[in-house]
Amino acid sequence: MAATTDLSAPPADLAALRTLLDGEHVEIRNLCRAWLSDADNAPRPDLPMEEHRTQVLKWARELADAGETARGFPVEFGGRGEVGGSIAGFETLAFGDLSLLVKCGVQFGLFGGAVLHLGTRKHHEAYLNDITSLRLPGCFAMTETGHGSNVQQLATAATYDAATGEFIISTPDAAARKDYIGNAARDGRMAAVFAQLIVGGEPRGVHALLVPLRDDDNNVLPGIRIEDCGSKLGLDGVDNGRIWFDDVRVPRDNLLDRYATVSEDGVYESAIENPTKRFFTMLGTLIQGRVSVCGASISATKVALTIAIRHAEARRQFGPPGEDEVVLLDYRTHQRRLLPALAKVYALHFAQEDVVARLHHVFTADAELDRERRELETLAAGLKAVATWHATATIQECREACGGMGYLKGNRFAALKADTDVFTTFEGDNTVLLQLAAKNLLTDFRDQLGELDPLGTAGFYAGQVFETVAERSAMREVLTRLADDLLPGRDDLQDLADREVQLELLRWRSSHIRSGVARRLKGGIDAGREPFAVLIDCQDHLIAAARAYVDCFVLERFAAAVDRCADPGSRVLLDRLCDLYALSTIEADRGWFQEHGRLSSTRSKAVIKAVNTLCAKLRPHAVGLVEALGVPETSLGDAAAVARAEPR
Ligand SMILES: Cc1cc2nc3c(=O)[nH]c(=O)nc-3n(C[C@H](O)[C@H](O)[C@H](O)COP(=O)(O)OP(=O)(O)OC[C@H]3O[C@@H](n4cnc5c(N)ncnc54)[C@H](O)[C@@H]3O)c2cc1C
């Protein structure tokens, strides 16, 4: 069976495609690729847990000694102020051992990030150099056994004792122990501990404090109890642990006091009066971890697709009688399993690039960019959920696509599956994150119509402003639908290839779902129902709104990347890949589009046909498209080597 080749398009320049993908942070990406390409730094699937942990720490120290782990920190504290560059480096490191990645994420991103963003100059001067050089290994101790997603309800207490000028950190009950904390079981000397602050007997909400855990000889300090979480589903090179505090005293200066201070005589002050707003402002500064995990999941997906597509190009099974067996990638089912996933990983790559640029802008600007920050939070939450779920699904599909070979540890799928699994949970559980994104979207929606109560959700749940939103949006939909029904040629396959048509379908779905959920929320509240109960009723709808918003954003970013691709051949190829992303996304929800009158049954079938056609057109370019992703050979494990050796 011959693959469908496309002779009409100019040949794609894979180097140009790689340049486009690497974007402005090409230097750091290549530096990380070079480091990963050293055989000593390749993932080692057979290491026992303790040896793995030792190896990971050694690697992390090597990177720190080379100065690479300080890159995202301010220049005055030994860094280079390259927030975006540091995330690009982190993404590239995710081609390799993911325990190393997560160890670095905890130390430099979470622990270092908490000190940088929640602390003030005295903390920066005292700790940042030691953190970025890994002289002070530390933890980010937020989650407790009792509370992971709902961190406002943490129970660890930090009670101010004005007589001694100290905070007393305590774990009041079993559910309040800190749990799953990276770096705690073995290496962490200090932790940024999130606790309910109590000053003068008054609770002030969750704040972060620096609490020493171990001395310089790594002995656990008095009043601290630490337990190893032991072996996990994956990421065994990271020493996750549980921590209890038995009235541990730390100086007043250990409060990370960017957003609130406590004076020596016990007066609490914060520029942000509303405790909920204060709490979410603090959390918002830690968004970099979420964006980083999103990028890491995209990289892990690239590794899986590179292995599976190379394998599919080399492996033969079955064929017409008397002829050669057929390579797997010539089977339509195999194309269907791998190529839309490849298109989506390209799409997510460009969307992530945009989010990283926004993050860099917000965190390096002199001004407080409230609106941009809120948009960033919405996008970071939504994209992290979509990208990590894509990783989980695609890695499994790639494993199956490699058959029995995919099951062998040496080919990386075991580690990829196990290590990325938790990406859907940490840095915010995906289902919870999508609800957060949806709530932000509803606030944005009111913004656009000039109806915003700037404090957001409080006014929203009071249900006072939705009438206008709901009515206007309903009217707009009616008008759009009338206009569309008058359009000729709606059953054409042709217009599905039009980027504007694709974008319009996704935009319409996004705005329709968003206004629909707004109406439902308002209707429930108007009917006198408890807002929380109304919210629960609408949860699935909220999640759909967030997903639709992300799909639309991702397509917009992919389309923009196609437009700026300078090499004509690569541009044609990317354009098709973008079509495949758009149409396979529409195909996945074609029931919805039909239900809402946006696709006739004929047109819906045309979408299926278009996806098949695109798979066939892209099939000859599949190996080139994964080569352009630039995954180092050392990250591909044994299966890829076998695929290279197998004759066609
Ligand atoms: C390997 C690993 C490393 C970690 N490292 C750290 C670390 O270094 N520091 C740290 O502080 N924490 C860490 N964590 C903790 C992690 O951040 C939490 O596990 C995560 O936030 C989820 O919290 P939870 O486990 O309590 O799950 P829960 O919040 O109990 O969620 C369980 C399920 O309930 C669902 N759910 C919860 N609330 C809602 C709702 N309102 N509506 C609908 N569904 C809901 C969720 O979708 C989820 O499926 C780590 C966890 C793991 C597994």
pLDDT for 452 equals 32
Q: What are the tens digits of pLDDT across the range 28-61?
A: 999 999 999 999 999 999 899 999 999 999 999 9
Q: How far is the CA of 264 from the centre of ligand 1 (A)?
A: 36
Predicted confidence (pLDDT) at residue 322 exceeds the cutoff of 60: yes
Question: In ligand 1, which atom is closest to the CA atom of 110?
Answer: 8
- Determine whether the shortest distance from the Cβ of 31 to ligand 1 is under 6 A: no
Tell which one of 106, 149, 150 to mutate to probe ligand 1, the residue whose CB is within 8 A of the most ligand atoms: 149
What's the CA gap between 463 and 459, in Å, rounded? 7
What's the CA gap between 306 and 631, in Å, rounded? 8
Atom 22 of ligand 1, nearest CA residue = 148
Q: Where do the H-state alpha helices sit in 285-369?
A: 287-314, 332-364
Going from the C-alpha of 558 to that of each of 285, 344, 347, 578, the distances in angstroms are 27, 9, 5, 6
Q: What are the tens digits of pLDDT across the range 401-434?
A: 999 999 999 999 999 999 999 999 999 999 999 9
Q: What are the tens digits of pLDDT across the range 549-587?
A: 999 999 999 999 999 999 999 999 999 999 999 999 999
Predicted confidence (pLDDT) at residue 453 exceeds the cutoff of 70: no
pLDDT for 444 equals 61
What's the CA gap between 220 and 178, in Å, rounded? 15
- Determine whether the shortest distance from the Cβ of 432 to ligand 1 is under 6 A: yes
CB-based burial of residue 210 (10 Å sphere; 0-12 exposed, 13-18 middle, 19+ buried)?
buried
- Determine whether the shortest distance from the Cβ of 107 to ligand 1 is under 6 A: no
Question: In ligand 1, which atom is closest to the CA atom of 238?
Answer: 1
pLDDT for 492 equals 59
Predicted confidence (pLDDT) at residue 4 exceeds the cutoff of 50: no
3-state secondary structure 215-250: CCCCCECCCEEEEECCCCCCCCCCCCEEEEECCEEE
Measured in degrees and rounded to the nearest 5, phi and psi for residue 73 equal -90, 160
CA atoms within 13 A on the CB side of 510: 23
The interaxial angle of helices 568-588 and 499-526, nearest 10 deg, is: 30
Predicted confidence (pLDDT) at residue 612 exceeds the cutoff of 50: yes
Q: How far is the CA of 173 from the centre of ligand 1 (A)?
A: 19
Distant-in-sequence, close-in-space partners of 380: CB < 8 Å, separation ≥ 6: 287, 290, 291, 294, 355, 359
The interaxial angle of helices 539-563 and 499-526, nearest 10 deg, is: 160
Residues 301/388, Cβ–Cβ less than 8 Å = no
Predicted confidence (pLDDT) at residue 368 exceeds the cutoff of 50: yes
- Determine whether the shortest distance from the Cβ of 550 to ligand 1 is under 6 A: no
- Determine whether the shortest distance from the Cβ of 426 to ligand 1 is under 6 A: yes
The token pair that represents 322 in the structure block: 């008397």
What is the chain's Cα-based Rg?
A: 26
Q: What are the tens digits of pLDDT across the range 55-101?
A: 999 999 999 999 999 999 999 998 999 999 999 999 999 999 999 99
Predicted confidence (pLDDT) at residue 355 exceeds the cutoff of 60: yes
Average of per-residue pLDDT values in the chain:
91
What's the CA gap between 533 and 336, in Å, rounded? 41
Place of tokens 């009438």: 467
Atom 9 of ligand 1, nearest CA residue = 181
Question: In ligand 1, which atom is closest to the CA atom of 536?
Answer: 42
The token pair that represents 20 in the structure block: 């486009």
What's the CA gap between 127 and 111, in Å, rounded? 11
Q: Greater confidence, 442 or 222? A: 222
Strand duo 157-161 + 190-199: pairing: parallel
Place of tokens 């051992």: 97
Place of tokens 């904390």: 181
For residue 20, the one-letter residue type is L
What's the CA gap between 479 and 473, in Å, rounded? 10
What's the CA gap between 592 and 103, in Å, rounded? 42
Q: What are the tens digits of pLDDT across the range 140-152?
A: 999 999 999 999 9
Strand duo 190-199 + 138-141: pairing: parallel
- Determine whether the shortest distance from the Cβ of 492 to ligand 1 is under 6 A: no
Q: How far is the CA of 232 from the centre of ligand 1 (A)?
A: 15
H or E segment at 524?
Answer: helix 499-526
Confidence of residue 639 (pLDDT cuts 50, 70, 90): low
pLDDT for 443 equals 81
Q: Which of 440, 299, 288, 458 is nearest to 370 (CA)?
A: 440
- Determine whether the shortest distance from the Cβ of 613 to ligand 1 is under 6 A: no
Q: Where do the H-state alpha helices sit in 402-455?
A: 413-421, 430-448
Q: 17 pairs with which residues across the strands?
A: none
Tell which one of 186, 243, 426, 539 to mutate to probe ligand 1, the residue whose CB is within 8 A of the most ligand atoms: 426
- Determine whether the shortest distance from the Cβ of 425 to ligand 1 is under 6 A: yes
Predicted confidence (pLDDT) at residue 478 exceeds the cutoff of 70: no
pLDDT for 495 equals 86
pLDDT for 8 equals 58
Q: What are the tens digits of pLDDT across the range 190-238?
A: 999 999 999 999 999 999 999 999 999 999 999 999 999 999 999 999 9
Q: How far is the CA of 149 from the centre of ligand 1 (A)?
A: 5
Q: Which of 346, 392, 402, 354 is nearest to 375 (CA)?
A: 354
pTM over 0.85: yes
**Averaged pLDDT for residues 630-634:** 97
Measured in degrees and rounded to the nearest 5, phi and psi for residue 192 equal -85, 105
- Determine whether the shortest distance from the Cβ of 182 to ligand 1 is under 6 A: yes
Predicted confidence (pLDDT) at residue 450 exceeds the cutoff of 80: no
Q: How far is the CA of 234 from the centre of ligand 1 (A)?
A: 16
**Averaged pLDDT for residues 382-401:** 98
The token pair that represents 64 in the structure block: 């720190």
Which range is least confidently modeled, 262-271, 564-573, 636-645?
636-645
- Determine whether the shortest distance from the Cβ of 422 to ligand 1 is under 6 A: yes
- Determine whether the shortest distance from the Cβ of 143 to ligand 1 is under 6 A: yes
Strand duo 241-245 + 178-181: pairing: antiparallel
The pairs formed by 453-462 with CB atoms below 8 angstroms and a separation of 24 or more are 455/274, 455/277, 460/521, 461/525, 461/531, 461/535, 462/525
Confidence of residue 385 (pLDDT cuts 50, 70, 90): very high
Q: 268 pairs with which residues across the strands?
A: 262
pLDDT for 477 equals 54
Confidence of residue 350 (pLDDT cuts 50, 70, 90): very high
- Determine whether the shortest distance from the Cβ of 429 to ligand 1 is under 6 A: yes
The interaxial angle of helices 499-526 and 430-448, nearest 10 deg, is: 90
Q: Which of 235, 60, 249, 228 is nearest to 159 (CA)?
A: 249
Atom 3 of ligand 1, nearest CA residue = 180
Confidence of residue 24 (pLDDT cuts 50, 70, 90): very high
What's the CA gap between 142 and 223, in Å, rounded? 18
CA atoms within 13 A on the CB side of 179: 16
Atom 47 of ligand 1, nearest CA residue = 431
Q: Which of 172, 47, 192, 166 is nearest to 114 (CA)?
A: 192
Q: What are the tens digits of pLDDT across the range 482-513?
A: 445 434 345 556 789 999 999 999 999 999 99
Predicted confidence (pLDDT) at residue 647 exceeds the cutoff of 80: no
Place of tokens 């957060």: 436
The interaxial angle of helices 370-401 and 287-314, nearest 10 deg, is: 30
**Averaged pLDDT for residues 235-261:** 98
Q: 242 pairs with which residues across the strands?
A: 227
pLDDT for 479 equals 44
What's the CA gap between 93 and 573, in Å, rounded? 27
Question: In ligand 1, which atom is closest to the CA atom of 145?
Answer: 26
Residues 133/300, Cβ–Cβ less than 8 Å = no
